[in-house]
Structures are given as C-alpha cells and as structure tokens.
Amino acid sequence: QDRLVESGGGLVQAGGSLKLSCAASGRTFSRYTMAWFRQVPGKERELVARISWSGGGTYYADSVKGRFAISRDSAKNTVYLQMISMKPEDTAIYYCAADLRTNPYYRREYLHWGQGTQVTVSS
C-alpha cells in the first residue's frame, strides 16, 4: 500500500523553527514531484512548496519565500520542509503530496496525500 506519512509538527513560538518530514512507503516516489500544502479551517488548501523529482527545481509560495526550504532524500524516500522565522499565520495542518506530473500546482493535480500534521505558531 502506498503511503505518505508526515511527522515533525507541533507547537512553536513565533520566530522559531520546525522541520517536517514526509516518509513514503509502498512504491518508490523518486520519480514523483513532491510538495507540501497547508490548510486552515474555512480556507482552501494551498501549495506551500514543491520540489521536482530530481531535486533541481523548487517552488515556494510568496508567503514563505526565504523562510521555508524543501528538500528530498530519494535514498530514504523522504521529503522535508525546514521552516524558520515562523509566524502565527503559518499555523495550519501541513500535508505532504506527490504526483508524477511536472510542476503540479493545484490540489486536484496531486494523486497521493498524507494524513497531515498540525503546526501551531504562538505569538
């Protein structure tokens, strides 16, 4: 069974850091575009960061540029999201996603999803 399992969420103070991990099991996701989305109640799930299968191409939402960094370790079948200088508005459930498309952007374009991990940033 193909699975994406997020970990590393939690409570952090504004200005602090967290590192999320997304471990893939089942199939090998080394040829997949991997991404992190986030969602708050009442709002659409938004793309936060995306990394190409090779790791050579990345995308960041304007709201996280310069503060978040996405990376992947294909040998471990794991993708990471390093978050620094965090803000209360980063509070959300963070989801890992994967798809074979090149540069998928919208939620509907991603086939595989994790269950999400809660990130809360206190002011």
Query: Whole-angstrom Cα distance, residue 53 to residue 81?
Result: 15
Both tokens of residue 33?
A: 């575009």
Angular region, 116: left φ>0, alpha ψ -120 to 50, beta rest:
left
pLDDT tens per residue across span 37-95: 999 999 999 999 999 999 899 999 999 999 999 999 989 999 999 999 999 999 999 99
- Band of residue 2 on the pLDDT scale cut at 50, 70, 90: confident
Backbone φ and ψ of 50, nearest 5°: -145, 145
Contact 82, 69 (CB under 8 A): yes
pLDDT at 123: 94
Per-residue model confidence as pLDDT tens digits over 91-120: 999 999 999 999 999 999 999 999 999 999
**pLDDT of 28 over the 90 cut:** no
